[in-house]
Copies of this chain bind each other. A is one copy, B any other.
Amino acid sequence: MSNAPNQPLRMALIGGGGAGFIGKVHATAATLDRQAELVAGALSSNPDKSKAAAAAFGIAPDRAYGSYQELLDAESKLPADRRVNFVSIATPNFTHCDIACAAMEAGFHAVCDKPMTTNLDDAQRMLDTVETTGRVFALTHNYSGYPLMRQAREMIANGELGEIIAVRATYVQGWMHGMDPQAEQARGAWKSDPLKNGRAGSLGDVGTHAFHLASFVTGLHPEALLSNMQSYSRHHELDDYGHSLVRFDQGATGMITWSQMTHGRQNDLSIEVDGTKAALTWRQEEPNQMFVRALGQPTKIYERDPNSSYASPDAIAACRLPGGHPEAFFEAFANVYRNAFEDMRRVDAGESFDRSKSLYPSVADGVAGVRFMTRCLDSAAADSAWQKW
């Protein structure tokens, strides 16, 4: 699995065939900087569809596998300089644990989509596997890949906002209004099935992104939370609207809001952080600007601008273009990959790395996300009573 420097890493994709949405994003994001090339895939749960889908991804027929097991098996047997370096997992939630653990046990690094898995037991198993195998594991909470979210994180870590007293992260979408509750669903049908999706509906789908972003940016840890959630759509039984009030360490208040029932909202993730010196706001749909406010001062618009006087090191490192040449979703997603690649190259070169310092979301972040879902569900079941973290 060795790789010459500058030579692209070899990638295998699990999921993404047919109507699969995020698999295609992984393929584009991972290869955006020409630091990786997609050479193998098990693109569907159906072996025939899996192989048929490969051509559209530019995967050669001999590396289009019928299942992830077959893929891991066959790739393991290839010579080190042909075999894939890492596996990207873009399959339904309930499959992440098995696939990621199998991949890491077979010696491959893993990039896995969120939520990491559907329950705390599986989450623990994934954490253990990462520790045992020493593989790189990255979770695609891609929104933390935006340069200005990294700028926010650095500014807060440097004390530019003072002590953090509150954070409000809101993720609202409206597509569930378009679902026909009667119609049999093609893409994403598993999302309505608690066995496959997990018990968390929109909470898992978007709430965990908002929670992760709040944690990533502020560096705060929850001590307790309460939650209320509803299922307004007749589309399925899972939650599609909810709030969680979070008591963070150092006394900060968090409010995480999620909805997939807000008409006309597309992918509206936003975050507001209040500190004792300044406050900031950012919105994913206009990701190249962040607003920083302080009492009596002009509101400052920080642009994603690596050449500005104010850009912080991690923000600069996360930019590919000068200011005013907007970057967006793919680039943020690609930043998660780019950071993971650094660690992969370290490991492949026999070097060590500090997992707790990764800029990309780690297995620990994945465990936190599953814990967040679990505690929210517990609180909702207990009439919104506070739950210890």
Point out residues on A near B: beta carbons under 8 Å.
Answer: 6-8, 21, 25, 27-28, 31-34, 38, 55-58, 165-166, 168, 173-175, 177-178, 226, 228, 230, 232, 241, 243, 245, 251, 253, 255, 257, 259, 261-268, 272, 274-279, 284-288, 292-303, 305, 307-310, 320-331, 383-386
Establish whether residues A326 and B25, one from each chain, have CB atoms under 8 Å apart when the complex forms.
no
A157 to chain B, nearest CB (A): 18
User: Which of B232, B243, B294, B330 interacts with A263 by CB under 8 Å?
Assistant: B294
Q: Which residues of B contact A228 (CB under 8 A)?
A: 245, 253
Establish whether residues A34 and B31, one from each chain, have CB atoms under 8 Å apart when the complex forms.
yes
CA distance A241 to B255 in the complex (A): 12
Known: A6-B55, A265-B324, A383-B386. A230 touches B245 (CB 8 A): no
Establish whether residues A165 and B329, one from each chain, have CB atoms under 8 Å apart when the complex forms.
no
Establish whether residues B274 and A263, one from each chain, have CB atoms under 8 Å apart when the complex forms.
yes
Establish whether residues B34 and A178, one from each chain, have CB atoms under 8 Å apart when the complex forms.
no
A170 to chain B, nearest CB (A): 8
CA distance A173 to B278 in the complex (A): 12
What 9 pairs between A and B have smallest CB-CB spacing?
A264-B293, A266-B324, A267-B324, A298-B300, A326-B328, A328-B328, A299-B301, A263-B279, A266-B323
A254 to chain B, nearest CB (A): 10
**Could you list 15 A-B pairs, sorted by A, with CB under 8 Å?**
A8-B58, A34-B57, A34-B58, A173-B324, A226-B384, A255-B255, A266-B305, A266-B322, A286-B326, A287-B326, A288-B328, A297-B309, A298-B310, A300-B301, A328-B331
User: Which of B174, B243, B265, B298 interacts with A302 by CB under 8 Å?
Assistant: B298
Establish whether residues B293 and A263, one from each chain, have CB atoms under 8 Å apart when the complex forms.
yes
CA distance A298 to B263 in the complex (A): 11
User: Which of B57, B296, B298 interacts with A301 by CB under 8 Å?
Assistant: B298
Q: Which residues of B contact A274 (CB under 8 A)?
A: 241, 259, 261-263
Establish whether residues B166 and A58, one from each chain, have CB atoms under 8 Å apart when the complex forms.
no
Establish whether residues B25 and A321, one from each chain, have CB atoms under 8 Å apart when the complex forms.
yes
Q: Which residues of B contact A279 (CB under 8 A)?
A: 174, 262-265
Q: Which residues of B contact A309 (CB under 8 A)?
A: 296-297
CA distance A178 to B7 in the complex (A): 37
Establish whether residues B299 and A275, one from each chain, have CB atoms under 8 Å apart when the complex forms.
no
Q: Which residues of B contact A298 (CB under 8 A)?
A: 292, 300-303, 308, 310
Q: Which residues of B contact A310 (CB under 8 A)?
A: 297-298
Q: Which residues of B contact A259 (CB under 8 A)?
A: 166, 274
Establish whether residues B257 and A295, one from each chain, have CB atoms under 8 Å apart when the complex forms.
no
CA distance A329 to B294 in the complex (A): 23
Known: A257-B168, A326-B329. A307 touches B300 (CB 8 A): no
CA distance A32 to B7 in the complex (A): 18
Q: Which residues of B contact A286 (CB under 8 A)?
A: 286, 326
A162 to chain B, nearest CB (A): 8
